[in-house]
Structure 1
Amino acid sequence: MEAINYPLFFIHISKTAGSSFRVAAEQYFGKEHVFYDYGPKAKETNPEIRALEYDKRDRYASGMNIVEKAKFVTGHVNHPKYAPFIPAKNAVTFVRDPLQQVRSHYEHFTRHHRYKKSFSEFVNEPRFKNVQYKAFQGTWPDAIGFIGLTERYSESLALINKMYSIDIQGLDINKNTEKKSSRYELSEEEVALVKKHNEHDFKLYEFALTRFERQKLAVESDSSFIRYGKTNMAKSDEGKMMKGWAANYDSQSAVALEARVGKKKIADLLASEYRSTANERNIHRSGFIGFSFVYPKKLKDGTQVDFVVKGTGEVLFGDVVKR
Structure 2
Amino acid sequence: MIVSVHIPKTAGTSLREALEENFGERLLLDYGDRPLAQGAAAEEQRARSAEEARTRSADILRDYDAIHGHFLAAKYDVLGPAARFATFFRDPATRVLSHFGQWQRLPHAPNPIAARIGSGELDVFGFAALPEIRDLYRTFTSDFDLDRFTFIGITEEYDRSIELFNAIFGTGIATRESNIGPEQSNGAETDADVLKRLRELQPVDAKLYDLALKRFDRLCEQFL
Q: Compare CA radii of gyration and give the structure with the larger one.
A: 1
- Determine if contact 1:89/1:144 at 8 Å carries over to the other structure: no
- Determine if contact 1:98/1:205 at 8 Å carries over to the other structure: yes
Matched residue, 2:28 = 35
- Determine if contact 1:34/1:70 at 8 Å carries over to the other structure: yes
How do 1:89-128 and structure 2 match up within 5 A?
A: 90-112=84-106, 113=109, 114=114, 115-116=117-118, 117-128=122-133
Instruction: Label 1:56 to 1:166 Cα distance change in 2 as closer, same or farther (>3 A).
Output: closer
Structure 1 residues 158-167 or 132-141, which shifts more? Answer: 132-141
How do 1:261-280 and structure 2 match up within 5 A?
A: none
Distance of 1:11 and 1:126 partners within structure 2: 20
- Determine if contact 2:94/2:195 at 8 Å carries over to the other structure: no
User: Residue type matched to 1:33 in 2?
Assistant: R
Alpha-carbon shift at residue 162 of structure 1 (Å): 1.2
Alpha-carbon shift at residue 192 of structure 1 (Å): 4.2
Aligned length: 201
TM score, norm. by length of structure 1: 0.57
Q: Percent same amino acid at aligned positions?
A: 28
User: Residue type matched to 1:85 in 2?
Assistant: L
- Determine if contact 2:88/2:153 at 8 Å carries over to the other structure: yes
Distance of 1:40 and 1:13 partners within structure 2: 13
Alpha-carbon shift at residue 56 of structure 1 (Å): 10
Instruction: Label 1:180 to 1:34 Cα distance change in 2 as closer, same or farther (>3 A).
Output: closer
Question: SS in structure 1 opposite 2:88?
Answer: strand
User: Residue type matched to 1:161 in 2?
Assistant: N
Cα RMSD after superposing both structures: 2.4
- Is 2:208 the counterpart of 1:204? yes
Q: Residues 135-187 of structure 1, C-alpha deviation per residue, up to 9 Å, x if partnerless?
A: 222311122101011011110111110111110111110010x4495536444
Matched residue, 1:137 = 142
Instruction: Label 1:38 to 1:86 Cα distance change in 2 as closer, same or farther (>3 A).
Output: farther
Question: SS in structure 2 opposite 1:145?
Answer: strand
Q: Residues 103-135 of structure 1, C-alpha deviation per residue, up to 9 Å, x if partnerless?
A: 111111212335313212212222211212222
More strand by share: 1
- Determine if contact 1:92/1:146 at 8 Å carries over to the other structure: yes
Matched residue, 1:290 = none
Distance of 1:180 and 1:72 partners within structure 2: 27
Distance of 1:171 and 1:132 partners within structure 2: 23
Distance of 1:25 and 1:211 partners within structure 2: 22
Structure of higher RCO (CA pairs closer than 8 Å, 6+ residues apart): 2
More helix by share: 2
Instruction: Label 1:219 to 1:57 Cα distance change in 2 as closer, same or farther (>3 A).
Output: closer
Equivalent of residue 220 in structure 2, options 194, 216, 224:
216
TM score, norm. by length of structure 2: 0.80
5+ residue gaps, structure 2, are 35-46
Structure 1 residues 196-205 or 12-21, which shifts more? Answer: 196-205
- Is 2:76 the counterpart of 1:82? yes
